[in-house]
């Protein structure tokens, strides 16, 4: 029978633009005894942060929708981006 075991990689600091994500993951994987053939899953957010590809959503929302309440702006933003990522 095949089993699946999820093991979190601990000790990774907050990711910032310019960080060497591969080195951070390799060090954490070594501490967690990740072996050849194991699967490593990395969220896109971590990759985007190291690439500096993040935006302040509140700033982006407030510019075009400054006259609308925040809830309406967030709802509109969510609807506009649904399924695009």
* More confident: 73 or 12: 12
Three-state secondary structure string covering the chain: CCCCCCCCCCCCCCCCCCCCHHHHHHHHHHHCCCCCCCCCCCCHHHHHHHHCCCCCHHHHHHCCCCCCCHHHHHHHHHHHHCCCC
Distance separating alpha carbons of residues 46 and 52, to the nearest angstrom? 10
Q: Are 74 and 61 in contact (CB under 8 A)?
A: yes
- Using CB atoms within 10 Å of the CB of residue 59, give its burial: 0 to 12 exposed, 13 to 18 middle, 19+ buried: exposed
| pLDDT at residue 32 is higher than 60 | yes
**What's the mean pLDDT in 18-27?**
95
Q: pLDDT value at position 28?
A: 95
Residue extents of the structural domains in the chain: 8-54, 55-85
- Global pTM exceeds 0.75: no
Q: pLDDT value at position 56?
A: 74
pLDDT in tens, 67-79: 545 566 666 656 5
| pLDDT at residue 19 is higher than 90 | yes
pLDDT in tens, 43-67: 999 999 999 988 776 665 555 555 5
């Amino acid at each position: 029978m095949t089993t699946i075991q999820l093991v979190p990689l601990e000790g990774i600091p907050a990711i910032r633009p310019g960080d060497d994500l591969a080195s951070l993951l390799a060090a954490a994987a070594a501490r967690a005894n990740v072996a050849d053939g194991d699967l490593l899953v990395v969220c896109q957010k971590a990759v985007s942060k190291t690439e500096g590809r993040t935006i302040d959503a509140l700033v982006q929302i407030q510019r075009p929708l400054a006259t609308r309440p925040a809830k309406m702006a967030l709802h509109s933003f969510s609807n506009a981006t649904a399924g695009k990522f």
